Amino acid sequence: MISLKLLKNYEADKNISFPNIYIDFFTKYRKKIPQNLVGTDIFNGTEDLNLWAKELLNDDNTENFLEEDDFVFMMHQGYMFWYFKTNEDENPTVYSYFEGDLKPTKRGELKSFLAKYI
């Protein structure tokens, strides 16, 4: 698993800023995913999740709605993903996309969203 230093380097490389809520989640669960999220990939220091999300959208013939500052932080079994905008605020809105959807769905604020799974 990646270290907090690599997370900070990722922020610097991408010129983004993660909210503290996400940093706390990442710090706590970077070595072992919460029981309720077994089968879900979380950010691991690469762009894989954003790339995989774009591949899913392409495979679904769905227009790529992800923007530069969108950060895919979780993906489940390759058919659904969750993301939030970086540089927005300390408790950004989480959006999800499920295979077959036409557009993303608003899932509430990050803090509340994570509380459901932890």
Question: Residue 115: pLDDT above 50?
Answer: yes
Using an 8 Å Cβ cutoff, are 110 and 21 in contact? yes
- pLDDT bin (cut points 50, 70, 90) of residue 73 is very high
Question: Residue 1: pLDDT above 50?
Answer: no
Six token digits for residue 95: 């959006």
Q: What is the pLDDT of residue 25?
A: 87
Average pLDDT, the chain: 88
Give percent above pLDDT 90 in the chain.
Answer: 53
Model confidence pLDDT, tens digit, residues 41-53: 888 776 689 999 9
What residue ranges do the domains of the chain occupy?
4-117
Where would I find the beta strands (DSSP E) of the chain? 40-42, 70-76, 80-85, 93-98, 105-109
Q: What is the pLDDT of residue 2?
A: 58
- pLDDT bin (cut points 50, 70, 90) of residue 4 is confident
What integer is the mean pLDDT of 84-106? Answer: 92
